[in-house]
Amino acid sequence: MIEHRPLASRIRHIAISPTMQVAIEAGRLKAQGVDVVDLGAGEPDFPTPAHIAEAAREAIASGFTKYTANMGTAELRAAIIHRYREDHQVEYGLDEVIATAGGKQALFHAAMALFGPGDEVITHTPGWPTLAEQVTLAGAIPVRVATTADTGFALTADLFLSAVTPRTRGIILNSPTNPTGAILEAPEAERLATEAGRLGLWVVIDLCYDRLVYDHQPHDLPRIFGAVMRDRLVICGSASKAYAMTGWRCGWMVASRDVVAAANALQSHETSNVNSVTQKAVVVALTGPQESVSEMLAAYQARRDQLLAWLSVEPRLRCVTPKGAFYLFPDVSAFLGSGLPTATDFAQKLLRDEFVVTTGGEGFDAPGHIRLSYAASLDRLREGATRLIRFARAQVA
Ligand code: PLP
Protein backbone atom coordinates (compact mmCIF):
# COMPACT_ATOMS: atom_id res chain seq x y z
CA MET A 1 0.00 0.00 0.00
CA ILE A 2 1.33 3.46 -0.90
CA GLU A 3 1.62 5.64 2.14
CA HIS A 4 -0.09 9.02 1.72
CA ARG A 5 2.16 11.75 3.06
CA PRO A 6 0.77 15.22 2.30
CA LEU A 7 3.27 18.06 2.50
CA ALA A 8 2.49 21.38 4.15
CA SER A 9 0.25 23.68 2.12
CA ARG A 10 2.88 26.41 1.90
CA ILE A 11 5.08 24.19 -0.21
CA ARG A 12 2.48 23.27 -2.83
CA HIS A 13 2.97 26.33 -5.01
CA ILE A 14 6.75 26.52 -4.72
CA ALA A 15 8.92 25.00 -7.44
CA ILE A 16 12.68 24.54 -7.52
CA SER A 17 14.37 27.58 -9.02
CA PRO A 18 14.45 27.13 -12.84
CA THR A 19 18.07 28.21 -12.96
CA MET A 20 19.01 25.41 -10.58
CA GLN A 21 17.15 22.89 -12.78
CA VAL A 22 19.25 23.99 -15.74
CA ALA A 23 22.45 23.58 -13.72
CA ILE A 24 21.48 20.00 -12.83
CA GLU A 25 20.83 19.08 -16.49
CA ALA A 26 24.07 20.72 -17.65
CA GLY A 27 26.02 18.86 -14.97
CA ARG A 28 24.53 15.54 -16.12
CA LEU A 29 25.59 16.13 -19.73
CA LYS A 30 29.07 17.30 -18.78
CA ALA A 31 29.54 14.19 -16.64
CA GLN A 32 28.85 12.15 -19.79
CA GLY A 33 31.70 13.95 -21.54
CA VAL A 34 29.47 16.04 -23.85
CA ASP A 35 30.97 19.34 -25.11
CA VAL A 36 28.40 21.57 -23.44
CA VAL A 37 28.44 25.36 -23.86
CA ASP A 38 27.08 26.45 -20.53
CA LEU A 39 25.43 29.86 -20.74
CA GLY A 40 23.00 28.93 -18.01
CA ALA A 41 25.05 29.71 -14.95
CA GLY A 42 24.14 32.67 -12.79
CA GLU A 43 27.63 33.02 -11.45
CA PRO A 44 31.00 34.49 -12.37
CA ASP A 45 33.35 32.14 -14.20
CA PHE A 46 36.32 33.87 -12.53
CA PRO A 47 37.99 32.32 -9.50
CA THR A 48 37.69 34.14 -6.19
CA PRO A 49 40.56 36.70 -6.17
CA ALA A 50 43.69 35.25 -4.55
CA HIS A 51 44.02 37.80 -1.73
CA ILE A 52 40.46 36.97 -0.60
CA ALA A 53 41.04 33.22 -0.67
CA GLU A 54 44.27 33.74 1.29
CA ALA A 55 42.34 35.42 4.12
CA ALA A 56 40.23 32.27 4.41
CA ARG A 57 43.32 30.06 4.62
CA GLU A 58 44.66 32.27 7.38
CA ALA A 59 41.34 32.07 9.22
CA ILE A 60 41.49 28.28 9.21
CA ALA A 61 45.17 28.22 10.18
CA SER A 62 44.51 30.51 13.13
CA GLY A 63 41.55 28.43 14.31
CA PHE A 64 38.87 30.97 13.48
CA THR A 65 36.40 28.13 13.10
CA LYS A 66 33.85 28.58 15.87
CA TYR A 67 30.42 30.19 16.05
CA THR A 68 30.52 33.95 15.75
CA ALA A 69 27.91 36.50 16.73
CA ASN A 70 24.69 35.46 15.02
CA MET A 71 24.56 38.64 12.92
CA GLY A 72 28.22 38.35 11.88
CA THR A 73 31.42 39.62 13.47
CA ALA A 74 31.65 43.33 14.26
CA GLU A 75 34.63 43.35 11.88
CA LEU A 76 32.50 42.09 8.98
CA ARG A 77 29.60 44.41 9.72
CA ALA A 78 32.03 47.34 9.90
CA ALA A 79 33.44 46.24 6.52
CA ILE A 80 29.95 46.23 4.97
CA ILE A 81 29.28 49.69 6.41
CA HIS A 82 32.65 50.85 5.05
CA ARG A 83 31.73 49.74 1.52
CA TYR A 84 28.41 51.60 1.52
CA ARG A 85 30.12 54.69 2.95
CA GLU A 86 32.79 54.59 0.23
CA ASP A 87 30.47 53.74 -2.66
CA HIS A 88 27.30 55.64 -1.71
CA GLN A 89 28.21 58.10 1.06
CA VAL A 90 25.61 56.63 3.41
CA GLU A 91 26.24 55.95 7.08
CA TYR A 92 24.89 53.00 9.04
CA GLY A 93 25.54 51.68 12.56
CA LEU A 94 26.72 48.20 13.54
CA ASP A 95 23.21 47.26 14.70
CA GLU A 96 21.78 48.19 11.29
CA VAL A 97 23.65 45.42 9.47
CA ILE A 98 23.37 41.63 9.50
CA ALA A 99 25.50 39.21 7.49
CA THR A 100 23.44 36.44 5.89
CA ALA A 101 23.99 33.22 3.94
CA GLY A 102 23.98 35.01 0.58
CA GLY A 103 21.80 37.86 -0.57
CA LYS A 104 19.07 35.27 -0.93
CA GLN A 105 18.76 34.84 2.81
CA ALA A 106 18.73 38.60 3.39
CA LEU A 107 15.86 38.90 0.91
CA PHE A 108 14.04 36.00 2.56
CA HIS A 109 14.37 37.63 5.95
CA ALA A 110 13.06 40.88 4.52
CA ALA A 111 9.97 39.12 3.15
CA MET A 112 9.38 37.20 6.38
CA ALA A 113 9.92 40.22 8.62
CA LEU A 114 7.85 42.72 6.64
CA PHE A 115 5.05 40.93 4.80
CA GLY A 116 2.23 38.61 5.78
CA PRO A 117 -1.25 37.36 4.87
CA GLY A 118 -3.35 39.89 2.94
CA ASP A 119 -0.39 42.12 2.08
CA GLU A 120 0.34 42.89 -1.54
CA VAL A 121 3.97 43.29 -2.51
CA ILE A 122 4.83 44.73 -5.91
CA THR A 123 7.68 43.29 -7.89
CA HIS A 124 8.65 43.35 -11.54
CA THR A 125 8.88 41.02 -14.52
CA PRO A 126 10.98 39.83 -16.19
CA GLY A 127 12.49 39.14 -12.80
CA TRP A 128 14.37 36.72 -10.65
CA PRO A 129 11.70 34.23 -9.55
CA THR A 130 12.93 33.94 -5.97
CA LEU A 131 11.73 37.46 -5.14
CA ALA A 132 8.08 36.60 -5.75
CA GLU A 133 8.39 33.07 -4.34
CA GLN A 134 9.71 34.44 -1.05
CA VAL A 135 6.74 36.81 -0.81
CA THR A 136 4.45 33.81 -1.31
CA LEU A 137 6.34 31.84 1.35
CA ALA A 138 5.76 34.75 3.73
CA GLY A 139 2.03 34.31 3.07
CA ALA A 140 1.69 37.60 1.19
CA ILE A 141 0.63 38.21 -2.42
CA PRO A 142 3.23 39.09 -5.06
CA VAL A 143 1.87 41.60 -7.58
CA ARG A 144 3.94 41.53 -10.76
CA VAL A 145 4.28 44.58 -12.99
CA ALA A 146 5.74 44.01 -16.45
CA THR A 147 8.64 45.85 -18.02
CA THR A 148 8.89 45.45 -21.79
CA ALA A 149 11.60 45.03 -24.39
CA ASP A 150 10.47 48.10 -26.38
CA THR A 151 11.57 50.35 -23.48
CA GLY A 152 14.71 48.32 -22.79
CA PHE A 153 12.87 46.66 -19.86
CA ALA A 154 13.16 50.01 -18.08
CA LEU A 155 12.11 50.07 -14.44
CA THR A 156 10.06 53.20 -13.88
CA ALA A 157 8.40 54.77 -10.86
CA ASP A 158 5.03 54.79 -12.63
CA LEU A 159 5.22 51.09 -13.29
CA PHE A 160 5.38 50.34 -9.57
CA LEU A 161 3.05 53.13 -8.47
CA SER A 162 0.33 52.13 -10.95
CA ALA A 163 -0.06 48.83 -9.06
CA VAL A 164 -0.45 50.34 -5.57
CA THR A 165 -3.74 49.49 -3.82
CA PRO A 166 -4.85 50.00 -0.21
CA ARG A 167 -3.41 46.53 0.51
CA THR A 168 0.07 47.29 -0.80
CA ARG A 169 2.72 46.93 1.91
CA GLY A 170 5.87 47.13 -0.09
CA ILE A 171 7.90 47.06 -3.28
CA ILE A 172 10.78 44.73 -4.05
CA LEU A 173 13.03 45.70 -6.91
CA ASN A 174 16.21 44.26 -8.32
CA SER A 175 18.64 46.61 -10.03
CA PRO A 176 20.59 45.75 -12.12
CA THR A 177 17.94 43.21 -12.95
CA ASN A 178 18.44 39.51 -13.47
CA PRO A 179 17.65 38.58 -16.31
CA THR A 180 17.39 41.82 -18.33
CA GLY A 181 20.31 43.89 -17.06
CA ALA A 182 18.02 46.92 -16.73
CA ILE A 183 18.65 49.42 -13.96
CA LEU A 184 16.48 51.86 -12.04
CA GLU A 185 17.85 55.21 -13.21
CA ALA A 186 18.31 58.13 -10.79
CA PRO A 187 15.27 60.29 -11.74
CA GLU A 188 12.95 57.29 -11.53
CA ALA A 189 14.52 56.21 -8.24
CA GLU A 190 14.03 59.69 -6.79
CA ARG A 191 10.36 59.77 -7.73
CA LEU A 192 9.72 56.25 -6.52
CA ALA A 193 11.48 56.90 -3.22
CA THR A 194 9.45 60.07 -2.63
CA GLU A 195 6.11 58.46 -3.44
CA ALA A 196 6.81 55.19 -1.61
CA GLY A 197 7.90 57.23 1.41
CA ARG A 198 4.71 59.33 1.24
CA LEU A 199 2.59 56.17 1.02
CA GLY A 200 4.46 54.54 3.92
CA LEU A 201 5.54 51.52 1.85
CA TRP A 202 8.55 49.34 2.50
CA VAL A 203 11.07 49.30 -0.32
CA VAL A 204 13.38 46.30 -0.51
CA ILE A 205 16.21 46.76 -3.00
CA ASP A 206 18.07 43.71 -4.22
CA LEU A 207 21.49 45.08 -5.09
CA CYS A 208 23.26 41.76 -5.59
CA TYR A 209 24.59 42.97 -8.98
CA ASP A 210 25.16 46.60 -8.03
CA ARG A 211 28.93 46.47 -8.61
CA LEU A 212 28.30 45.23 -12.13
CA VAL A 213 27.00 48.32 -13.92
CA TYR A 214 28.50 49.16 -17.32
CA ASP A 215 29.59 52.30 -19.15
CA HIS A 216 30.28 54.17 -15.87
CA GLN A 217 26.61 54.82 -15.37
CA PRO A 218 25.70 56.15 -11.95
CA HIS A 219 23.78 53.68 -9.80
CA ASP A 220 23.31 55.10 -6.37
CA LEU A 221 20.11 53.63 -4.96
CA PRO A 222 21.18 53.43 -1.28
CA ARG A 223 21.82 57.18 -1.23
CA ILE A 224 18.75 58.16 -3.26
CA PHE A 225 16.26 56.04 -1.30
CA GLY A 226 18.07 56.61 2.00
CA ALA A 227 17.75 60.37 1.62
CA VAL A 228 13.94 60.32 1.69
CA MET A 229 12.74 57.06 3.23
CA ARG A 230 15.60 55.52 5.16
CA ASP A 231 13.43 54.06 7.93
CA ARG A 232 11.43 52.08 5.34
CA LEU A 233 14.37 51.02 3.17
CA VAL A 234 15.87 47.53 3.23
CA ILE A 235 19.09 47.05 1.26
CA CYS A 236 20.07 43.49 0.38
CA GLY A 237 23.56 42.94 -0.99
CA SER A 238 25.99 40.13 -1.62
CA ALA A 239 29.64 39.21 -2.06
CA SER A 240 28.66 36.51 -4.57
CA LYS A 241 28.73 38.29 -7.91
CA ALA A 242 31.02 41.27 -7.28
CA TYR A 243 33.86 39.19 -5.83
CA ALA A 244 33.22 35.85 -7.57
CA MET A 245 32.29 34.30 -4.22
CA THR A 246 29.03 32.49 -4.98
CA GLY A 247 29.99 29.31 -3.13
CA TRP A 248 31.14 31.11 0.00
CA ARG A 249 27.59 32.18 0.83
CA CYS A 250 27.78 35.67 2.19
CA GLY A 251 25.32 38.48 1.71
CA TRP A 252 23.86 41.09 4.01
CA MET A 253 20.92 43.22 4.94
CA VAL A 254 21.35 46.90 5.76
CA ALA A 255 18.22 48.44 7.24
CA SER A 256 16.77 50.13 10.29
CA ARG A 257 17.53 48.58 13.68
CA ASP A 258 14.15 46.91 14.17
CA VAL A 259 14.19 45.20 10.76
CA VAL A 260 17.73 43.96 11.34
CA ALA A 261 16.74 42.76 14.82
CA ALA A 262 13.86 40.80 13.25
CA ALA A 263 16.21 39.26 10.68
CA ASN A 264 18.63 38.41 13.48
CA ALA A 265 15.88 36.64 15.44
CA LEU A 266 14.84 34.64 12.35
CA GLN A 267 18.41 33.74 11.53
CA SER A 268 19.09 32.65 15.12
CA HIS A 269 16.52 29.88 14.59
CA GLU A 270 17.57 28.97 11.03
CA THR A 271 21.21 29.00 10.09
CA SER A 272 22.95 31.09 12.81
CA ASN A 273 26.04 32.98 11.70
CA VAL A 274 27.55 32.94 8.22
CA ASN A 275 30.46 30.48 8.01
CA SER A 276 33.24 31.98 10.15
CA VAL A 277 35.97 31.43 7.54
CA THR A 278 33.85 33.10 4.86
CA GLN A 279 33.38 36.11 7.12
CA LYS A 280 37.15 36.68 7.32
CA ALA A 281 37.42 36.42 3.54
CA VAL A 282 34.58 38.86 2.94
CA VAL A 283 36.16 41.44 5.27
CA VAL A 284 39.19 41.41 2.96
CA ALA A 285 36.97 41.48 -0.13
CA LEU A 286 35.12 44.57 1.06
CA THR A 287 37.99 46.53 2.58
CA GLY A 288 40.94 45.40 0.45
CA PRO A 289 41.90 46.45 -3.08
CA GLN A 290 38.89 46.70 -5.41
CA GLU A 291 40.81 46.31 -8.69
CA SER A 292 39.58 42.77 -9.21
CA VAL A 293 36.00 44.08 -9.26
CA SER A 294 36.87 46.62 -11.98
CA GLU A 295 38.81 44.01 -13.95
CA MET A 296 35.94 41.54 -13.93
CA LEU A 297 33.51 44.32 -14.82
CA ALA A 298 35.66 45.30 -17.82
CA ALA A 299 35.79 41.66 -18.94
CA TYR A 300 32.00 41.27 -18.66
CA GLN A 301 31.49 44.48 -20.63
CA ALA A 302 33.79 43.29 -23.42
CA ARG A 303 31.95 39.96 -23.51
CA ARG A 304 28.57 41.68 -23.57
CA ASP A 305 29.60 43.81 -26.53
CA GLN A 306 31.14 40.88 -28.37
CA LEU A 307 28.18 38.58 -27.80
CA LEU A 308 25.78 41.29 -29.00
CA ALA A 309 27.92 41.71 -32.13
CA TRP A 310 27.98 37.97 -32.84
CA LEU A 311 24.23 37.62 -32.36
CA SER A 312 23.44 40.70 -34.45
CA VAL A 313 24.02 38.67 -37.65
CA GLU A 314 20.63 37.09 -36.95
CA PRO A 315 18.31 40.07 -36.48
CA ARG A 316 15.34 37.85 -35.64
CA LEU A 317 17.07 37.22 -32.30
CA ARG A 318 16.10 40.58 -30.83
CA CYS A 319 18.42 41.72 -28.03
CA VAL A 320 18.26 44.66 -25.62
CA THR A 321 21.67 45.92 -24.49
CA PRO A 322 21.98 45.16 -20.77
CA LYS A 323 23.17 48.00 -18.55
CA GLY A 324 24.37 45.75 -15.77
CA ALA A 325 24.64 42.16 -14.42
CA PHE A 326 25.90 39.52 -16.89
CA TYR A 327 22.89 38.27 -18.78
CA LEU A 328 21.49 38.76 -22.26
CA PHE A 329 17.77 38.24 -22.65
CA PRO A 330 16.99 37.86 -26.36
CA ASP A 331 13.46 37.60 -27.72
CA VAL A 332 13.27 34.28 -29.57
CA SER A 333 9.57 34.45 -30.41
CA ALA A 334 10.33 34.65 -34.16
CA PHE A 335 11.51 31.03 -33.92
CA LEU A 336 8.59 29.65 -31.92
CA GLY A 337 5.65 27.88 -33.51
CA SER A 338 3.55 24.76 -33.28
CA GLY A 339 6.58 22.44 -32.97
CA LEU A 340 8.24 24.65 -30.41
CA PRO A 341 5.53 26.59 -28.59
CA THR A 342 7.42 28.15 -25.69
CA ALA A 343 10.82 29.64 -24.96
CA THR A 344 11.41 26.85 -22.45
CA ASP A 345 10.81 24.32 -25.26
CA PHE A 346 13.29 26.32 -27.34
CA ALA A 347 15.88 26.20 -24.55
CA GLN A 348 15.35 22.46 -24.00
CA LYS A 349 15.68 21.62 -27.69
CA LEU A 350 18.73 23.88 -27.97
CA LEU A 351 20.30 21.84 -25.19
CA ARG A 352 19.33 18.52 -26.83
CA ASP A 353 20.37 19.46 -30.38
CA GLU A 354 23.35 21.76 -29.86
CA PHE A 355 24.32 21.24 -26.21
CA VAL A 356 23.98 24.92 -25.34
CA VAL A 357 22.59 25.64 -21.90
CA THR A 358 20.26 28.65 -21.59
CA THR A 359 17.19 29.32 -19.46
CA GLY A 360 13.66 29.73 -20.84
CA GLY A 361 12.09 33.11 -20.11
CA GLU A 362 8.99 31.52 -18.55
CA GLY A 363 11.11 31.00 -15.43
CA PHE A 364 11.43 34.78 -15.20
CA ASP A 365 7.76 35.44 -16.03
CA ALA A 366 8.81 36.49 -19.53
CA PRO A 367 7.59 34.14 -22.26
CA GLY A 368 9.25 34.38 -25.66
CA HIS A 369 12.74 35.07 -24.30
CA ILE A 370 15.74 33.05 -23.22
CA ARG A 371 18.46 34.06 -20.80
CA LEU A 372 22.11 33.67 -21.76
CA SER A 373 24.77 34.24 -19.14
CA TYR A 374 27.92 35.86 -20.51
CA ALA A 375 29.92 34.97 -17.43
CA ALA A 376 31.82 32.63 -19.75
CA SER A 377 35.01 32.94 -21.78
CA LEU A 378 34.95 34.67 -25.17
CA ASP A 379 35.75 31.33 -26.82
CA ARG A 380 32.77 29.63 -25.25
CA LEU A 381 30.57 32.63 -26.05
CA ARG A 382 31.60 32.53 -29.71
CA GLU A 383 30.86 28.82 -29.88
CA GLY A 384 27.55 29.30 -28.05
CA ALA A 385 26.50 32.12 -30.40
CA THR A 386 27.36 30.02 -33.47
CA ARG A 387 25.37 27.04 -32.22
CA LEU A 388 22.44 29.21 -31.10
CA ILE A 389 22.15 30.93 -34.48
CA ARG A 390 22.45 27.61 -36.34
CA PHE A 391 19.76 26.12 -34.12
CA ALA A 392 17.39 29.11 -34.39
CA ARG A 393 17.64 29.19 -38.20
CA ALA A 394 16.99 25.46 -38.39
CA GLN A 395 13.66 25.95 -36.60
CA VAL A 396 12.28 28.24 -39.32
CA ALA A 397 14.03 26.68 -42.31
N1 PLP B 1 19.32 38.46 -6.39
C2 PLP B 1 19.40 38.10 -7.67
C3 PLP B 1 18.66 38.90 -8.66
C4 PLP B 1 20.13 36.98 -8.06
O5 PLP B 1 20.20 36.64 -9.35
C6 PLP B 1 20.79 36.23 -7.06
C7 PLP B 1 21.53 35.00 -7.44
O8 PLP B 1 21.50 34.52 -8.52
C9 PLP B 1 20.70 36.66 -5.74
C10 PLP B 1 19.96 37.77 -5.43
C11 PLP B 1 21.32 35.93 -4.59
O12 PLP B 1 22.61 35.56 -4.71
P13 PLP B 1 23.42 35.08 -3.42
O14 PLP B 1 22.46 34.40 -2.50
O15 PLP B 1 24.46 34.17 -3.94
O16 PLP B 1 23.98 36.32 -2.81
- 16 — pLDDT class (breaks 50, 70, 90): confident
Atom of ligand 1 nearest to the CA of 174: 3
Q: State the pLDDT confidence band at 23, using cuts at 50, 70 and 90.
A: confident
Atom of ligand 1 minimally distant from the CA of 238: 16
pLDDT category at 19 given cuts 50, 70, 90 is low
Burial 133-167 (b: 16+ CB within 10 A, else e): bbbbbbebbbbebebebeebbbbbbebbbebbeee
User: What confidence score (pLDDT) does residue 15 get?
Assistant: 74
Beta partners for residue 98, in sequence order: 253
**Residue-wise pLDDT tens digits, 179-220:** 999 999 999 999 999 999 999 999 999 999 999 999 999 999
pLDDT > 60? residue 2: no
Q: Quick one: which atom of ligand 1 is closest to the CA of 101?
A: 14
Least confident span in 14-18, 145-149, 320-324, 371-375: 14-18
| Across 369-389, average pLDDT | 97
Task: Determine the pLDDT at residue 5.
Answer: 73
CA distances from residue 331 to 69, 81, 89, 154, 335 in whole angstroms, order as listed: 47, 40, 38, 16, 9
Residue of the nearest CA to atom 1 in ligand 1? 208
Q: Is the pLDDT of residue 165 over 80?
A: yes
How confident is the model over 132-153, as a mean pLDDT?
96
**Confidence band for 18, pLDDT divided at 50, 70 and 90:** low
16-25, 66-75, 239-248: the lowest-pLDDT one: 16-25
Separation of CA 273 from chain center: 22
pLDDT of res. 360: 94
Q: Indicate if the pLDDT at residue 272 is higher than 90.
A: yes
State the pLDDT confidence band at 118, using cuts at 50, 70 and 90.
very high
Whether 170 and 134 have beta carbons less than 8 Å apart is answered as no
Q: What is the mean pLDDT of the chain?
A: 95
Would you place residue 8 in the very low, low, confident or very high pLDDT band (cuts 50, 70, 90)?
confident
Compute the distance from residue 128 Cα to the ligand 1 centre, in Å.
Answer: 8
Residues 6+ apart with CB under 8 A from 28: none
Q: Which of 128, 252, 253 to mutate to test the pocket of ligand 1 (most atoms within 8 A of CB)?
A: 128
Q: Can you tell me the mean pLDDT for 306-331?
A: 97
Percent of the chain with pLDDT over 90: 91
Strands 97-100, 251-254: pairing is antiparallel
Q: Which of 208, 243, 253, 282 to mutate to test the pocket of ligand 1 (most atoms within 8 A of CB)?
A: 208
Cβ–Cβ < 8 Å for 123, 173: yes
**If you measure from the C-alpha of residue 246 to the centroid of ligand 1, how many angstroms do you get, rounded to a whole number?**
9
pLDDT at 13 over 70: yes
